[in-house]
Amino acid sequence: MTAIKLALRNLIGAGLRTWLSVIVLAFILILIIWQYAIIDGWDKMAIRDMIAWEIGGGQIWTEGYDPYDPFTLEDSHRALPQSFIDDIEKGNMAPILITQASIYPEGRIMSILLKGIDPSQQVSELPTGKLLEEYDAIPAIIGRAMARDSKLNIGDYTTVRWRDVDGTFDATELVIADIFKSDVPAVDNGQMWISIDNLREMTQMPGEATLIVTDQDYTWTGEESGWVLKDYDFLLKDMREMIRLKKVGGSVFYIILMLLAMLAIFDTQVLSIFRRQKEIGTYMAMGMTRGQVVKLFTVEGAMHSILAVILGAIPGIPLLYYLARVGYSMPAGSDSMGLPIAETIYPAYSVGLILSVMILVIITTTIVSFLPSRKISRMKPTEAIKGKLQ
């Protein structure tokens, strides 16, 4: 307790030199917490949107299907077994049939994925109910990114061409029944959604599907030949890996900032020991052991981080709260990255995040403060009082 009182008195007595180091540390603390909270907020929002729009409670793929390899689509379809049909009728599953196609908006050609889905499904946020409306052409829904790229609006007609199961080309007219807003590119970019019954008839694949999306409250535990269950760990792996890489990339920048701050504290401690040799000798002459003096200077250096936490909390708490309310607006064009990114990301602060950053800074500062303080252990009281270092 005595060491803490002496350290605090010495720090306050050092004046501007102390407060410059404390302000820098407080700034780094706020910056690190905010940056990691943004990434955690993005992670939570992206996973929530992917579950709501794309993967539901999990997906069941036909064997050989690979969403990143369009050449697998030709053979990635098979008839639904009776167990799936029963669950579909109960609303636990939604089959999706996928085929490659081309559309011709305003005379231009554009390659797309034509996806068929049950219009009455409830496992996805897709507004498939619009596919039940009556038109003089096959109704289709698209996302905002697809609408922007194709220049299509609600009520527009476009020609679509595809190949059926025998490889024969055919074409028909589609009408845009709705344009939905989704932050998940996997259901938007380069895709058009129509009724699965229409697509089955067009491709001559009656009763078939490419994959099944299950409801969030339903867990499929059965086994069917030719069908493979893909759980959250598999379906969210790429997103979680991207978040991990983002955190690693951000860490490099903050490590550099931390090193600069630690260098300043290290230099401050070295200078302090050099200038306060007589004080150190006086402490030893009064009966303090070398270990106690080393502890005093280590605590004094570590107090920089404690003061930084206290000082940083004054502007940091209202600032971080404000940023959590207004969020961070992503720049234009970020939705073209192919990742689930909302227009505004809201930071996700957690007790674990805040405590881990604070503890990391305090431990690092303590270690950096201890290193130059070891020199005190080699001092002789008489030489220190004279102001001579050995």
| Pairing between β-strand 157-163 and β-strand 227-230 as defined by DSSP bridges | unpaired
Is residue 243, in this structure, part of any structural domain at all? yes
3-state secondary structure of 370: helix
Is residue 263, in this structure, part of any structural domain at all? yes
3-state secondary structure of 303: helix
Is residue 105, in this structure, part of any structural domain at all? yes
209 and 63 inside one domain: yes
Per-residue pLDDT band at 99 (split at 50, 70, 90)? very high
> Has residue 299 got a pLDDT over 60?
yes
Q: What is the pLDDT of residues 243-294, one digit of tens each?
A: 888 888 777 777 877 777 777 777 766 766 666 666 666 766 676 776 777 7
Domain extent, residue 11, equals: 2-52+238-385
97 and 32 inside one domain: no
69 and 185 inside one domain: yes
Token pair in block for residue 153 = 């609006």
Is residue 379, in this structure, part of any structural domain at all? yes
82 and 163 inside one domain: yes
Q: Using an 8 Å Cβ cutoff, are 152 and 139 in contact?
A: no
211 and 298 inside one domain: no
Average pLDDT of every residue of the chain: 84
214 and 275 inside one domain: no
Is residue 95, in this structure, part of any structural domain at all? yes
130 and 65 inside one domain: yes
Q: Using an 8 Å Cβ cutoff, are 195 and 116 in contact?
A: yes
Q: What are phi and psi for residue 299, nearest 5 degrees?
A: -65, -40
Q: What is the pLDDT of residues 163-205, one digit of tens each?
A: 998 889 999 999 999 999 998 988 999 999 999 999 999 999 9
Domain-ending residue, one of 230, 249, 283: 230
pLDDT score, position 2: 59
Q: Which of left, alpha, beta for 15 (phi over 0: left; psi -120 to 50: alpha)?
A: left
Closest CA to 97 of 67, 75, 117: 117
Domain count for the chain: 2
Is the sign of the CA dihedral 19, 25, 31, 34 positive or negative? Answer: negative
Is residue 199, in this structure, part of any structural domain at all? yes
pLDDT score, position 201: 94
Task: Give 379 or 191, the one with higher predicted confidence.
Answer: 191
> What CA–CA distance (Å, rounded) separates 340 from 63?
26
Q: What is the pLDDT of residues 113-151, one digit of tens each?
A: 999 999 999 999 999 999 998 888 999 999 999 999 899
Is residue 390, in this structure, part of any structural domain at all? no
258 and 310 inside one domain: yes
14 and 123 inside one domain: no
Q: Using an 8 Å Cβ cutoff, are 193 and 115 in contact?
A: yes
Domain-ending residue, one of 178, 209, 230: 230
Domain-ending residue, one of 208, 230, 252: 230
Residue 328 DSSP symbol: E
72 and 47 inside one domain: no
In terms of pTM, does the model score above 0.75?
Answer: yes
**Average of pLDDT values for 292-319?**
81
Task: Give residues with Cβ within 8 angstroms of 85, minimum separation 6.
Answer: none
> Has residue 388 got a pLDDT over 60?
no
37 and 66 inside one domain: no
Q: What is the pLDDT of residues 12-36, one digit of tens each?
A: 656 666 777 788 888 888 888 888 8
pLDDT score, position 385: 56
Q: What are phi and psi for residue 223, nearest 5 degrees?
A: -135, 135
133 and 94 inside one domain: yes
Q: What is the pLDDT of residues 52-74, one digit of tens each?
A: 999 999 999 999 899 888 888 88
Is residue 89, in this structure, part of any structural domain at all? yes
pLDDT score, position 94: 94
pLDDT score, position 276: 64
pLDDT score, position 335: 61
